Copies of this chain bind each other. A is one copy, B any other.
Amino acid sequence: MRVAFQGELGAFSQQAIQQLLGAKARPVPQARFDQVFAALDKGSVDAAAIPIENTLHGSIHENYDLLLKYDFAITAEANVRIVHNLIAPPGMSFAQVRKVYSHPVAINQCLEFFARHKRIEREPFYDTAGSVKMIMEQRPPGGAAIASELAAKVYKARILKRGIEDDPQNYTRFFLLEPAGSKPRGNRKGQSPWKTSLVFSTKNFPGALFRALSALALRDLNLVKIESRPLRGKPWEYLFYLDLLGRRDDEAVKNALAHLGEVADFLRVLGSYRAAV
């Protein structure tokens, strides 16, 4: 099974693919998110893994936009804990590290490490896994990288220090996408609850969202995410991203979706899948 993702081999998205599908899935790197979607659309891959939100940085609107542009099914979700490791070529000791390369976002998530080791310089690089590839190929003197454990494995580098991130509560949520009509995948960790993700918009009047949410509340459905996003070029009109507990074939969810369809301007169900545990 070929699975597209954005980034270099060893990226956190590749780790998501392992969590979602096990080690036998074949990761297919792409430079940009739109290329990930296009690869699945033209059938050059069987599935795609995309990040959709991060506990520190919020929702990735670009991928919500692409979910609306294409018509794929979300068949599974995964939460990947973002663990940053100090990684160097084999043979280099921690005392020899002088420069650390990584994506600036990763570097900025390890500021306590740099405060404790003031001799070490920070060097911005394109991405985390790519910085490991570079130090292994070019061996800059005293050069190390910050990236995932998987990146160390992929490029045969060595982890000098594990978990150097400031905040251990850094998780990214990923969706597995497959062609429209694909069945949701079983959760390998047992029977977690079903989730359904949808996007809808409402006309702009006071109480519009309240009325839309009544479709769920009247059926005792539990909402697990809601987020408004201003609609381009339509001041005070919004798209809403919403996740609820339940499956689209459940009687209550079916009725709620029909009701929501009446009060919303636009409604699209992105998929029903087992909640990540």
**Contacts from A to B (Cβ < 8 Å):** 32, 53, 55-62, 103-104, 111, 122, 124-127, 169, 204-207, 209-211, 213-214, 216-217, 220-228, 230, 232, 236
Q: Once the chains bind, are A227 and B226 in contact (CB under 8 Å)?
A: yes
Q: Within the assembled complex, what's the spacing in Å between the Cα atoms of A125 and B124?
A: 6
A227 with B227: in contact, given A57-B61, A124-B104, A210-B210 (CB under 8 Å)?
yes
Contacts of A209 in B (CB 8 A): 213, 223, 226
Residue of A32, A58, A217 with most chain B CB atoms under a 10 A cut-off: A58
Contacts of A230 in B (CB 8 A): 55
Q: Once the chains bind, are B224 and A236 in contact (CB under 8 Å)?
A: yes
A226 with B224: in contact, given A104-B124, A217-B206 (CB under 8 Å)?
no
Q: Once the chains bind, are A220 and B232 in contact (CB under 8 Å)?
A: no
Q: Once the chains bind, are A58 and B58 in contact (CB under 8 Å)?
A: yes
Q: Within the assembled complex, what's the spacing in Å between the Cα atoms of A214 and B236?
A: 20
For residue A128, give the distance in angstroms from its CB to the closest CB of chain B.
11
Query: Which 4 pairs show the lowest CB-CB distances between chains A and B?
Result: A58-B58, A210-B217, A207-B217, A124-B124
For residue A54, give the distance in angstroms from its CB to the closest CB of chain B.
9
Contacts of A125 in B (CB 8 A): 124
Q: Within the assembled complex, what's the spacing in Å between the Cα atoms of A225 and B127?
A: 32
What does DSSP make chain A's interface, helix, strand, loop or mixed? mixed
- Set B58, B60, B205, B228: member contacting A61, Cβ < 8 A: B58
Contacts of A124 in B (CB 8 A): 103-104, 124-126
For residue A58, give the distance in angstroms from its CB to the closest CB of chain B.
3
Q: Within the assembled complex, what's the spacing in Å between the Cα atoms of A225 and B220?
A: 24
Name which residue of chain B comes closest to A125, CB basis.
Answer: B124
For residue A31, give the distance in angstroms from its CB to the closest CB of chain B.
9
Contacts of A62 in B (CB 8 A): 56
Q: Once the chains bind, are A225 and B225 in contact (CB under 8 Å)?
A: no
Contacts of A58 in B (CB 8 A): 53, 57-61, 227
- Set B104, B206, B214, B221: member contacting A222, Cβ < 8 A: B206
Q: Within the assembled complex, what's the spacing in Å between the Cα atoms of A142 and B56?
A: 37
Q: Within the assembled complex, what's the spacing in Å between the Cα atoms of A207 and B244?
A: 11
- Set B207, B210, B220, B227: member contacting A228, Cβ < 8 A: B227
Q: Within the assembled complex, what's the spacing in Å between the Cα atoms of A232 and B170?
A: 10
Q: Within the assembled complex, what's the spacing in Å between the Cα atoms of A228 and B169?
A: 17
Starting from the known contacts A53-B58, A104-B104, A104-B127, 12 additional A-B residue pairs (CB-CB under 8 Å) come to: A57-B60, A58-B227, A169-B232, A206-B222, A207-B217, A209-B223, A209-B226, A210-B210, A210-B213, A225-B228, A226-B226, A226-B228
14 A-B pairs within 8 Å (CB atoms) are namely A57-B58, A57-B61, A58-B58, A103-B124, A124-B125, A205-B222, A206-B216, A206-B222, A209-B223, A209-B226, A210-B214, A210-B216, A223-B228, A226-B226
